[in-house]
Structure 1
Amino acid sequence: MNRRAAMLLSLVAALMPAAPADAQPIAAGRPINLYVGFAAGGPADLLARIVAERLQEQLGQPVVVQNRGGAGGTIAAAAVAKTRPDGTSLLLVTSGHTGAPALYRNLPFDNQKDFSPIIALAQSPVVLLADSKSPHRDIQGLVAAAKSNPGKLNFGTGGGGATLTALAAVLLCRDLAIDAVAINYPGSGPANIALTSGTIDFSFDIVSGAMGLLTAGTVRGLAVTSPHRSSALPDVPTVAETVRPGFDVTGWFGILAPAGMEQSLVDQLNAEFARILASPPLKARLATLGIDPIGGTPQQFADLIAAETTRWGGLIRELGLKVD
């Protein structure tokens, strides 16, 4: 088992207990803004709205999702980094957050020092998609077509090219020596529209973001990027078992707050989100979306961010990727 897999498993095993009954109101009962760095309708936005609804029920105070899409989630992250660490501003971050320091030349925040990790929420693999009317019916056929027509096929990713889906696509094309043209969209919603309209040949999305289209039969899943098949898509093979042994890219989501937050408030927020993740109805709902809860302590989430920053930063520098 690699270090990353072991870390995620340790997080799953470390779900925090419920918050104490005498806990003080978070943010003194004021509304809590949960920022999302992507357009409405995508996987990050969907998860944010699910957990915001539960958090509002638990706290008895408004929790408002604020979409600040663009630049691979860095616009929302920059906004939250500048707010007061009083619990009124939180950020739902994706694993793409860990690649931002290597991708952007003038990033206005430090992806680790400027935030207080709260909890790793959940994980979901990336899925390679083709339109249901596409001639590409499996990943082997798509790879063969791409190699026979270098530079002719194009693919889409959401989040402006600076997300895990984009990195998974670049990594897979590199490993398979595929020459295909990347087209970057502001979110997975617009990328999926381009796929179903025939603008692009294939796309990459987090499983949770594509489940609606997959269930409706509008698109087909050709492969998932996790080491094992997704429980939500048991008939979709992995990249590792088909065309690239050992391939492993799994997306995750977590909650950050501005740096400098008092430890007592960090712990209280961690406990509230852990209660959400431990809810059987929520687990069942996430399972239908191909999302698996993680959980764990703030320090474990900090360790995950540090390890992933090293991993993806190394790949980005190796490939010479940059986003202006």
Structure 2
Amino acid sequence: MTVPTLNRRHLLGAGATLATTALWPRLGAAQAAWPSKAVRFVVPFAPGGSSEIVARATAAELTKLLGQSVFVDNKPGGAGNVAMQEVARIDDQHTLILGHIGTLAVNPYIFDKLPYDPNKDFKPISLLAKVPSLYVVRPDLGVKDLKEFVAMARAKPGALSYGSAGNGSAGHLAMEYLKMASNTFILHVPYRGTGPQLTDLMGGRLDAAAVGAPAVLQFIKTGKLRCIATGTPQRLPQLPDVPTVAEQGFPGFEMTQWYGLLAPSNFAPAHAEKLAAAAAKAVKEPAALKSLEADAAQAVGSTPADFARFIQLEQQRWKPVIARAKIKPD
């Protein structure tokens, strides 16, 4: 039998194979070691409100699951654009950001030019939670549900008014979405924040509003406001007798504020996979669920692919609403 001769090429090839094989355990260990230091979780809004609750509940559980501190860093300004621009350009593998309906699905259509690209500059990790929007009216308006409210608005175009926390706010979008779906005209009165608009609504100077559940549940329960519909796909446990908008003649209608976890586009795929699994588990942990449910927020915890599809659908939902209402930032 002839024994093959090992020439220089064979030896080099064998050496390269051995070297690569020897390197595999170290590469795997390096990937598994992420995160190797504290993780910064940027929130593009001021402290307080649902964004803070979702971010801190998630960060606390991620700290346990990832074995490194995950700390929340609030960086408000420019409707979230300031923080989004910073994180889009960062390159350290240890900075994440809280994505939001505003920064991902609304800002692209209300600002003439954004300092970031919501679809190219970020890697979707997981949809964390949704916060229901509630449609409320002053109790003495004379309507008991959404059907009666829409009938009144159609009978008196422009006679009814609604308040919002400002142009481009979630409440503004929610009511304009309802107006588009119901083919009604209701006068918009923008305020500088949720508090002032609720004061005028309960004082009888406004007729209606769409507000995140945490801000109005207490007033609904005490009878200071009447909830005529929820923007959620299903009825809320906190308001089991209040039907959804979809139930009252508008199939497929959904209006919720939502929050998700994003990483810069250069985030390593292996890190993204590990983080997504941890995030989906984090929001379902008992302590996180307790924090979220206290704020009427609904935990989700999706895969990166599902979150990416969700963002695309939300952009498709809000583009025509914003164009029809000609919404511009304050």
The normalised TM-score by structure 2 is 0.75
Report the 3-state secondary structure (helix = DSSP H, G, I; strand = E; otherwise coil) of the residue aligned with 1:29: coil
AA partner of residue 143 (structure 1): V
Q: 1:267 corresponds to which residue?
A: 273
1:312 pairs with 2:318: yes
AA partner of residue 36 (structure 1): P
- Distance in 2, matches of 1:96 and 1:243, equals 30
**How far does the alpha carbon of each residue in 1:108-153 deviate from its partner, in whole angstroms, 9 at most, with x for none?**
2111101111111122432102345665543344334434543343
Change (3 A) 1:163 1:82: farther
Q: 1:239 corresponds to which residue?
A: 245
- Distance in 1, matches of 2:39 and 2:299, equals 25
- Distance in 2, matches of 1:217 and 1:65, equals 37
Q: CA deviation at 1:181?
A: 1.9
Match of 1:113 among 102, 105, 120: 120
- Distance in 2, matches of 1:186 and 1:40, equals 17
- Distance in 2, matches of 1:164 and 1:106, equals 20
Question: Which one has the largest radius of gyration?
Answer: 2
Q: 2:168 corresponds to which residue?
A: 162
**How far does the alpha carbon of each residue in 1:226-280 deviate from its partner, in whole angstroms, 9 at most, with x for none?**
3432233211112233354553334432111222111222223223312212313
**How far does the alpha carbon of each residue in 1:144-200 deviate from its partner, in whole angstroms, 9 at most, with x for none?**
443454334322234x43355433311211333332222334554554455345553
Report the 3-state secondary structure (helix = DSSP H, G, I; strand = E; otherwise coil) of the residue aligned with 2:262: strand
Q: CA deviation at 1:68?
A: 0.9
Change (3 A) 1:211 1:265: farther
CA contact (8 A) 1:96 1:164 kept: no
Q: 1:74 corresponds to which residue?
A: 81
- Distance in 1, matches of 2:132 and 2:105, equals 16
Q: 1:230 corresponds to which residue?
A: 236
CA contact (8 A) 2:57 2:283 kept: no
Map 1:200-219 → 2, pairs under 5 A: 200-215=206-221, 217-219=223-225
Map 1:1-324 → 2, pairs under 5 A: 23-24=32-33, 26=35, 28-30=36-38, 32-37=40-45, 39-58=46-65, 59-61=67-69, 63-71=71-79, 73-94=80-101, 97-131=104-138, 136-158=143-165, 160-185=166-191, 187-189=193-195, 191-215=197-221, 217-317=223-323, 319=324, 321-323=326-328
Report the 3-state secondary structure (helix = DSSP H, G, I; strand = E; otherwise coil) of the residue aligned with 2:85: helix
The normalised TM-score by structure 1 is 0.77
- Distance in 1, matches of 2:51 and 2:218, equals 14
State the number of aligned residues: 299
Report the 3-state secondary structure (helix = DSSP H, G, I; strand = E; otherwise coil) of the residue aligned with 2:240: coil
CA contact (8 A) 1:35 1:80 kept: no
- Distance in 1, matches of 2:62 and 2:164, equals 30
CA contact (8 A) 1:36 1:67 kept: yes
AA partner of residue 177 (structure 2): L
- Distance in 2, matches of 1:241 and 1:137, equals 15
CA contact (8 A) 2:158 2:186 kept: yes
- Distance in 1, matches of 2:124 and 2:192, equals 25
Structure 1: runs of 5 or more not aligned: 1-19
AA partner of residue 244 (structure 2): T
AA partner of residue 101 (structure 1): P
Change (3 A) 1:216 1:270: farther
Change (3 A) 1:32 1:303: same
Change (3 A) 1:33 1:280: closer
What value does the CA root-mean-square deviation take over the aligned residues?
3.2
